[in-house]
Structure 1
Amino acid sequence: MTNPSITVVMPVYNVEKYIVAAIDSVLAQTFTDFEIVIIDDGGTDRSIEICESYTDPRIRIISQKNRGLAGARNTGILQSRGEYIAFLDSDDIWEPEKLALHKIHLDSNPRIGISYSGSQFIDEQGAQLRQAQRPKLENITAKDILTRNPIGNGSAPVIRKSALEVIAFGHHEEPQRICFFDESFRQSEDIELWIRLALTGRFAFEGIDGLLTRYRIVTGGLSANIAAQYESWNRVIQKTSGYAPEFIAQYRDEARAYQLRYLARRAVQMGEGAFALSLLKESLAISYAPLLKEPVKSCTTLVAAVMMRYLPANIVEKLAMRWTGGKVAA
């Protein structure tokens, strides 16, 4: 047997509501020379039972104790046979041409280590929202990765396996186990890896046109989740400053302001208008960069937060339906 061109790594943990749509979107790809490595990360629902119902020989299921998203992705990379690695979170969906377009992009540009694309937002039921991630696609620098993370989400990139091998390291408790993502992170593990890879200067980051990932917005979270995400992001900054202190010193404030604005947008999605306003206030106190460089996005976030904070819920929902086509998603 010849090795497939692309390995799709799909961590699975208690996602029985979404897993069929995710797997079906891979099997529907126009490019077919791939394998799907499903990592059973110790969940307790019917997710893996559903995965086992598929008979496509390109699907492999690997079970492990719960290690979190970073640990599941690491296992998938280690088990991969493809030249390229594509990550798909098991609550997201791909457009049928995604793998084909990234394969062309990477084959044509050996200097590119990570190829990515924009993403369309969908709600919990899979309905399309009006908003999308349309990132910067070219001339990506390490600063862009730190401050704006153009990759956007974990289901957007397709990565050259040789690029991941450059930044591999031994697990701090199990040195014989090779890691790529830092498993001490339960959030922000992707941005930590992107920064680490970008700072090597060995591979370029470049995007392609199109909204090729459908990124699911799951509402109903708690503000505590935002606090945990911010704490995790700060750990990324702390870790990176250990080996690139000048880089972090130069761009820390701008990056922190953008991160706080992003978290304010998440707070709006969760219906936490007052919390969103406090995050925006803190962002502006650190740097005006998000407001000056992206005034429309910043002002839209502010307006959404104010509406969420002060207007009756029924009016907010009506306005949200006009603007996003679904839940509020600043």
Structure 2
Amino acid sequence: MSPRISVVMPVYNVEKFVKSAIESVLKQTYDNFELLIVDDRGDDRSIQICNQFIGDPRVHIIRHQCNKGLAAARNTGIRHSLGEFVAFIDSDDLWHPEKLQRHVTHLDNDPQIGLSFSRSSFIDFDGKFIDFYQMPKLTGIDAAHLLCRNPVGNGSAPVIRRTTLNDIRFLSVTSADRHSCYFDEKFRQSEDIECWLRIAATTSWKIEGLPEPLTYYRLNHGGLSANLEKQYASWELMIEKARGFAPLLLQRHEQAARAYQLRYLSRQAIRTGDGSAAVKLFNQAMATSPSILKNETGRTITTMIAAYAQWIMPSWGYIAIEGVGQKCISVMQKMRISRDGVSSEFMQDNKL
């Protein structure tokens, strides 16, 4: 019997995390799945660690001849997959044990949903929960909202119907070996949002989220201002591509989307401790589209206060204020999760 879900896990230089990522998949309460590990030719011990799991008949390792990047690794996994649904997990992230079961139920209950995603809980470098969550809009998501705010949030959150992926499939024209693509292999960053945007803008499939934080998203301690610049440049390339398949969408929402992206990068700079870059990015966001202050007043003001406080204050003072602020936000997030129907038992079982 073919597996109902194909889980695609690209692997590249993640020896510190990959064992835990694989175990979080194999511990799923829903077990009719295959795990396709795509070896993207790193130079550490990641694949030796993966080899420890090949005795499990659900686990398969697919090897690239050379490093091709995350988008190409996901495409390779999709092409080898057998499932009705395709789930993605990055090899430094983790899943709640009920993730696949809840997504299967979500997709079965509404055949019009093409992409089902979950809220995410942040974990630190060592895998410890930090009581902070991605809190996106879950329903009523259109292409404009996805362009501006990317509610899916990260590459370990979605489970997608194969038929949905087939609807956005295109043929690679940049490689000597022509093959089907779903993620654009020209992108080394922003490949996620580019793919989700094509689904939202060019198909009739619905994109909806689950209120439970079923994905554990690991924060990267290695972020630098230079990397933020690369992220922004990659996002701009995504915008240029989108002009070809969603020109009216870009005419109406490009400036607001750019402002939201700059605000997001400002928060990333805050996370890495670069107050100067955070202020610069926030000011760029406001100059690009002041409407984000009206549309998302709380989040925009919070970003402004954090950016300027980190820039002006001594580090010990900012750390103290940040700790208090994060505790307040965490409490409000948990209250909202509870209002959305997530039980306290689930949160306790989740160690959140």
Is the pair's TM-score, using the shorter chain for normalization, greater than 0.5?
Answer: yes
The more displaced of 20-29 and 5-14 is 20-29
Distance in 1 (CA, whole Å) between partners of 2:211 and 2:223 is 31
- The CA deviation at 1:308 is 1.5
Per-residue CA deviations over 1:20-62 (Å, capped at 9, x if unaligned) read 1111111111111111000000101011100101121101011
1:34 has 2:36 as partner: no
| Contact kept in structure 2, 1:92 and 1:214, CA below 8 Å | yes
- Which residue matches 1:96? 97
Is there any run of 5+ residues in structure 2 with no aligned partner, and where? 328-352
- Which residue matches 2:340? none
Per-residue CA deviations over 1:284-321 (Å, capped at 9, x if unaligned) read 11112322122221111112112221222223333334
Q: How does 1:100-139 map to 2 (within 5 A)?
A: 100-139=101-140
- The CA deviation at 1:126 is 1.1
1:61 has 2:57 as partner: no
| Contact kept in structure 1, 2:202 and 2:245, CA below 8 Å | no
Distance in 2 (CA, whole Å) between partners of 1:122 and 1:182 is 28
- Which residue matches 1:292? 294
TM-score when normalising by structure 1: 0.95
What amino acid is aligned across from residue 25 of structure 1 in structure 2?
S
Distance in 2 (CA, whole Å) between partners of 1:240 and 1:83 is 28
- Which residue matches 1:16? 15
Distance in 2 (CA, whole Å) between partners of 1:296 and 1:132 is 16
The more displaced of 228-237 and 241-250 is 241-250
| Contact kept in structure 2, 1:130 and 1:323, CA below 8 Å | no
Secondary structure of the corresponding residue to residue 246 of structure 1: helix
- Which residue matches 1:318? 320
Name which of 232, 235, 240 aligns with 2:234.
232
- Which residue matches 1:193? 195
| Contact kept in structure 2, 1:6 and 1:34, CA below 8 Å | yes
Distance in 1 (CA, whole Å) between partners of 2:257 and 2:224 is 24
Identical positions, percent: 48
What amino acid is aligned across from residue 103 of structure 1 in structure 2?
V
Distance in 1 (CA, whole Å) between partners of 2:235 and 2:84 is 30
Distance in 1 (CA, whole Å) between partners of 2:263 and 2:86 is 31
What amino acid is aligned across from residue 131 of structure 1 in structure 2?
F
Per-residue CA deviations over 1:139-159 (Å, capped at 9, x if unaligned) read 110101111111011100000
Q: How many residues align?
A: 324
The more displaced of 165-174 and 149-158 is 165-174
| Contact kept in structure 2, 1:69 and 1:186, CA below 8 Å | yes
Distance in 1 (CA, whole Å) between partners of 2:287 and 2:168 is 35
Distance in 1 (CA, whole Å) between partners of 2:198 and 2:250 is 12
Distance in 1 (CA, whole Å) between partners of 2:37 and 2:120 is 22
| Contact kept in structure 2, 1:129 and 1:324, CA below 8 Å | no
What amino acid is aligned across from residue 14 of structure 2 in structure 1?
V
1:80 has 2:84 as partner: no
Distance in 2 (CA, whole Å) between partners of 1:23 and 1:324 is 30
Distance 1:220 1:318, change over 3 A: farther
What amino acid is aligned across from residue 155 of structure 2 in structure 1?
G
Per-residue CA deviations over 1:217-254 (Å, capped at 9, x if unaligned) read 11232101111111111111111112322211111011
| Contact kept in structure 1, 2:266 and 2:303, CA below 8 Å | yes
- Which residue matches 1:25? 24
- The CA deviation at 1:118 is 0.5
Distance in 1 (CA, whole Å) between partners of 2:270 and 2:118 is 25
Name which of 197, 222, 225 aligns with 1:223.
225
What amino acid is aligned across from residue 251 of structure 1 in structure 2?
H
- Which residue matches 1:4? 3
TM-score when normalising by structure 2: 0.90
Secondary structure of the corresponding residue to residue 23 of structure 2: helix
What's the RMSD between the two structures over aligned residues?
Answer: 1.2
Secondary structure of the corresponding residue to residue 172 of structure 1: coil
- Which residue matches 1:166? 167
- The CA deviation at 1:322 is 3.7
Distance in 1 (CA, whole Å) between partners of 2:101 and 2:245 is 37
| Contact kept in structure 1, 2:167 and 2:203, CA below 8 Å | no
Q: What stretches of structure 1 move > 2 A for 4+ residues in a row?
A: 173-176, 314-325
- Which residue matches 2:307? 305
The more displaced of 219-228 and 156-165 is 219-228
